[in-house]
Amino acid sequence: MSRCFNFSAGPAALPEAVLRQAQAELLEWNGTGASVMEVSHRGKAFMDLAAESERDLRDLLAIPDHYRVLFLQGGATQHFAQIPMNIARRDQVADYVLTGAWSEKAAREASPYTTVRVAASAQAGGYVGLPPAGQWRLDASAAYVHVVSNETIHGVQFSEPPDTGEVPLVADMSSDILSRPIDVARYGLIYAGAQKNIGASGLVVMIVREDLLARCPADIARIFSYAEHAAQGSLLNTPNTFGWYLASLVFKWLKAQGGVTAMAARNAEKAAVLYAAIDGSGFYRNPVDPAARSAMNVPFTLPRAELDEVFLRESREAGLLALKGHKLVGGMRASLYNAVPLEAVQALVAFMQDFARRHG
């Protein structure tokens, strides 16, 4: 067996130690006589896992007591629609900040449930930076302001959350949650699909301020209501038990690595090594404003599009996986999530330098 260095944007690399533990426990988990997939989500063993995973996530992100943690399904995409359903009235506007493909999608999916207002957009520039501060037009009566903290496709990331005053800030953190410390108190609601920085697909982690749960309307199906999920401890129906279990292992792994502060330092180093190699190459190019560059997803292009196929084939042969860029942006993309070690980035840079020498 040979595991490669995996730069996939998602589903993405998992820590090898986590996979090994899951493998070791696959047939028999935690004294239950069965695998974690084969036991009741209402039994003591799984309920203990649920409680402990929440405690670990609360420790990792220093989540204040007046926030609830939910473990949901549907992918981040379902919550693009479900968030306005829960926390905006139909006669209210919701402010959206467009910084790339994911924030566009979020706005589109919200539009059947609220009046979407674009409060700021970097679309005209091709999403190579954040909208300049002076161009934001927030509506003080909006139900919430929605941002995507890290644009997985365009490689644009907020370094700090925007100040939205009294209006709750809602952030899709699918591709950068747990990659750095955050001040949860600056957000009303944080949500993230698990398959980038948490674990396997099919699980969504949500951190929501209690007062926003009070907005959830009583006349929507219970399965769509965040207040109902919170009241039932995320066990309103059968959760994604295996995904939740994998997330619990990743949370333990992160704690053992020194938590999100240690991860942030490593992630910054990984990104610095790769951006320096791109900028210094005279061959590769990343178009994003350096102040808004993502530490998680690094898109880059080659000088001639006909080299793309060669680069992909040779990188795959060198044991470097999934470098093909998203079709909206073209070129390549290296995703450097928590589970991607510095050695992977060093191997990528060495390959890129050799490739540039041979094709420059």
Ligand X SMILES: *Cc1c(COP(=O)(O)O)cnc(C)c1O
Known catalytic residue at 211: no
Known active-site residue 324: no
Q: How far is the CB of 148 from ligand X (least distance, A)?
A: 5
Residues in touch with ligand X (CB under 6 A): 10, 75-77, 102, 148, 152, 172, 174-175, 193, 196, 201
Q: Which residue is nearest to ligand X (CB)?
A: 75
* Nearest distance in Å: CB 24, ligand X: 28
170 DSSP β-pair partners:
146, 189
Strand-pair partners of 205: 71, 192
Count of alpha carbons within 13 Å of 10, Cβ hemisphere only? 23
- Tally: H helices and E strands in the chain: 10, 13
- Active-site residue, from 56, 95, 176, 196: 196
Q: Which is nearer to ligand X, 10 or 168 (CB)?
A: 10
What sign for the dihedral angle of Cα 329, 334, 339, 342?
negative
DSSP string, 29-59: -TTSSS-GGGS-TTSHHHHHHHHHHHHHHHH
Q: Per the omega criterion (within 30 degrees of 0), is the bond before 168 cis? A: no
Q: If you ran DSSP here, which 8-state letter would residue 280 be given?
A: T
Query: Looking at beta carbons only, is 92 or 201 nearer to ligand X?
Result: 201
> Residue 224 or residue 255: which is nearer to ligand X going by CB?
224
Nearest in space to 20 (alpha carbons), one of 253, 184, 183, 237: 253
List C-alpha distances in Å: 205 to 76, 131, 144, 189, 277: 9, 27, 19, 11, 34
Q: Which residues pair with 193 in a beta bridge?
A: 204
Nearer to ligand X, 69 or 147 (CB): 147
Residue 172 known to be catalytic = yes
The rounded radius of gyration (Å) of the Cα atoms in the chain is 21
Alpha carbons 190 and 252: distance in angstroms, whole number: 21
Helix axes 241-256, 16-24, angle to 10 degrees: 130
Give min distance, CB of 302 to ligand X, in A: 24
Q: Which is nearer to ligand X, 204 or 263 (CB)?
A: 204
In whole angstroms, how close is the CB of 216 to ligand X at the nearest point? 21
Identify which of residues 76 and 122 has a Cβ nearer to ligand X in the complex.
76
User: Rounded distance, CA 249 to CA 148, Å?
Assistant: 26
With beta carbons less than 8 A apart as the criterion, state whether 174 and 152 touch: yes
Give the SS3 label for residue 150.
strand
Q: Residue 208 or residue 352: which is nearer to ligand X going by CB?
A: 208
DSSP β-bridge partners for residue 5:
320
Measured CA to CA, the distance from residue 31 to residue 39 in angstroms comes to 11
Catalytic residue among 29, 172, 270, 324: 172
Query: Least distance to ligand X from the beta carbon of 194, Å?
Result: 8
Question: Cα–Cα distance between 212 and 140 in angstroms, integer?
Answer: 16
Asked if residue 131 lies in contact with residue 121, where contact means CB atoms within 8 angstroms, the answer is: yes
Q: How far is the CB of 10 from ligand X (least distance, A)?
A: 5
Query: Which residue out of 29, 56, 95, 102 is catalytically annotated?
Result: 102
Q: Closest separation between CB of residue 61 and ligand X, Å? A: 17
Catalytic residues: 102, 172, 196
